Structure formats: structure tokens, C-alpha cells
Amino acid sequence: MDLLLVLIYSAFCIALFKIFRIPLTKWTVPTAVLGGIVLIGSLIFTMNYNHPYSEVTRSYYVSIPIVPVVTGQVIDVPVQTNQPLKQGDVLFRLDPLPFEYRLKSIKARLISAQSDLYRIRALTKHGFSNDRELDTATAQVDDLRAQLDTAQYELDHTIVRAPANGFVTQMSLRPGMIATRVPLRPLMVFIPDEDYFLTAWMRQNSLLRLNVGSEAEVAFDGLPGKVFRGKVKNVLTVIGEGQVQASGTLVSYTGSPPPGRVPVIIEITDPAFASYRKQMPGGAYGQAALYSEHFHHIAAMRKILLRMASWMNYLFPFH
């Protein structure tokens, strides 16, 4: 936007010199240059402080990595990429036979253990057995019941279902593959049907003017010439560049780290955005401007520059 101001001022000076036939002398040219520095510098300083602008604005979304609870061979993948799903719809199935066999084995052992427990109880009542044998038989039955519940749980989870309403994207899972429950390698990515949250990354020198409820405008690169109204929904109170986690390493100076920017969540309230909502993919990139109550007349210039920047999105080679 700073470049736009310089270009506008340069065009104004050229037109002024041409129309009024002002000679190019050692006085007129430096005066125009110094005047531009003072005028544009003051305007930029006032706008950046009171009506901050971010050229880095992105819509973020939550993705759910799908990892099976059990390990097995994939036998069926009925889901299709980018097709809407309801919570509970089948994503894929694993071969249930090994889990069914284990369940039958535990059931058989449980029946045998229950028979032994019944017999030992009867013997104990008549004094032909002791409490220790009874406790051992009871513990064995309880243990087998727990194993039976676990086996049934694992069998139920050979069918992997959608965790929420949404869709699966970039899916490459096929029958015959081995699915493991190691979370380091998910089998597919599930995108829940939730609203994206739009974040504008603002410079830290505009912190005093970042207030919840302030007016905002957003221009997406994918929608040239369109600017949508909104408001500041939240100003996050932490910056990722300063985070520290528990470890055996002390924090030390490693040079000049990037200062980081303040994440500001923007809610688009413009009714016109509803018709473009489905055209904007998660992760869409754009620009945003926030308007405080201070120097409100200067906000008009910021709005003009934002719209000019939006029209420049038609020039694909420059992006």
C-alpha cells in the first residue's frame, strides 16, 4: 500500500507540472520530493498506527487425522473424496476375522473359567476347597471378562466412522493396505463441517489500536475487486515466536529472532460474502484493514488503498 501512495503522489506531481507548466528547476523538483516525503510519511504513519493493515491474512480450519484404533488389513473403502458425510458414516473397514477369532477364544475360556468358579464355590461351601482357590478362580473370570470387553471393543473399531459432519480430502487409502494404529502416519484427513476462522497477522506497533469490536475489511486474493466488511472478534494474547516448553534445554540468545505478529481473529459480517462463501477454500489468502475510532477521516484513504490493492489481484503474474 505504501507503493500505491507513492505512485499516486508521483502521478499527481507529474500532472501538476504538466498542467501548470511548472519548470523543472533545482527548487521545484526538490520541493515536490520533500513535500511528498512529509505528506506521504505523515499519512502512512497516521494510517498504520490508527488504522492498521495486514498483507498477511489467511482463513484457517481444523483437520482431523484419521488413525485406526486397531491394526489390520483394509478390505473396504466406501468413502469418496470431497463428498459430504454425516457423523457415523463408514470411512473404511478392516478385516474383522482375526478379531472375531480372538473374541470367540476368550468367550470359550470365559465359559470354562465360569464353570470352574461355580465348581470351586460348591466345593468351598462343603469344605473341600479353600478361599485362596476361590479368589484365584474369581480373578480369572474377572480378567477374562475384561479381555472379552476389550476384544469386543477392538472388533467394533474395525469399522472406522466419520467423527463429525464433514468430508475426507486427498484420500489415497485403498483395500489391501495395512492400517496401523501408530498416530505418526494417518490414513486420511477428515475436515469437519465448521466455520473457518479468519486471522490477520498485525504488526506489534499497532497493538494499542487492536480492540475487539472494531470495524474491519477483508480482501481475498481469490476474489479480485471484492472487499467485505467485518469486525474484530478476538485479539489473541500470545505469539508463537515466544513460546517455551518444558525441556532440559535452557532458553538462550541465538541471534535476532523475528519479532512475530499479533494474530487477530476477524468475523466477516458482510451479507454479500454468503454468496462467495463456498468459493473460498480453507486456507484462502488475503489482506485486511482494521479501523479504530481515532482519526476516522483518515480511514477513508485506507479503504481506498485496500480496494486498489484488491483490484490489483487481477494481475496474476505479480502473485
Query: pLDDT per residue over 52-109, tens digit each?
Result: 999 999 999 999 999 999 999 999 999 999 999 999 999 999 999 999 999 999 999 9
Positions of E strands within the chain = 53-60, 64-66, 72-76, 90-94, 159-161, 166-169, 178-179, 188-192, 197-202, 215-220, 228-235, 262-268, 285-291
**177 vs 251, which has greater pLDDT?**
177
Out of 160, 192, 224, a domain closes at 192
> Is the pLDDT assigned to residue 212 strictly greater than 80?
yes
CATH at 87? 2.40.50.100
pLDDT score of 318 more than 60: no
Residue 244 scores a pLDDT above 60: yes
- End-to-end Cα, the chain, rounded Å: 15
Q: Are residues 180 and 75 in the same domain?
A: yes
Residue found by looking up cell 488504522 in the block? 51
Return the CATH number at 309. 2.40.30.170
Same domain, 266 and 215: yes
Among 17-31, 144-158, 195-209, 252-266, which stretch is predicted with the lowest mean pLDDT?
A: 17-31
Task: Note whether 209 and 183 are same-domain residues.
Answer: no
Q: What is the pTM of this model?
A: 0.76
Work out how many domains the chain is built from and give that number.
Answer: 3
C-alpha cell at 55: 498483507
Q: Do 201 and 263 fall into the same domain?
A: yes
Residue 160 and residue 223 in one domain: no
* C-alpha cell belonging to residue 39: 505528506
Same domain for 71 and 122? Answer: yes
- 198 lies in the same domain as 57: yes
Report the pLDDT value the prediction gives residue 1, as an integer from 0 to 100: 58
pLDDT for the residue 20: 76
Q: Do 178 and 77 have their domain in common?
A: yes
Q: Is 91 helix (H, G, I), strand (E, B) or coil?
A: strand
The angle, 0 to 180 degrees and rounded to 10, between the axes of the packed helices 28-50 and 2-19 is 150
Beta-ladder partners of 30: none
Residues 28 and 93 occupy one common structural domain: no
* Final residue in a domain of this structure, among 151, 172, 192: 192
188 shares a domain with 68: yes
- pLDDT value of position 199: 95
- Cell numbers 516448553 label which residue? 245
* Structural domain of 43: 1-50
Q: Which residue among 192, 217, 243 closes a domain?
A: 192
Considering only CA atoms, which of 196, 226, 179, 155 is closest in space to residue 73? 179
Mean pLDDT is lowest, of 41-50, 84-93, 234-243, 245-254, for: 41-50
The verdict on 146 and 289 lying in the same domain is no
Identity (one letter) of the amino acid at 215?
A: E
Contact 51, 291 (CB under 8 A): yes
Domain identity same for 57 and 203:
yes
- The radius of gyration of the chain's CA atoms, rounded to the nearest angstrom, is 33
With vertex at residue 267, the alpha carbon angle to CA 236 and CA 309, rounded to the nearest 5 degrees, is 100
Give 283: exposed, middle or buried? Use CB within 10 Å, 0-12, 13-18, 19+: exposed
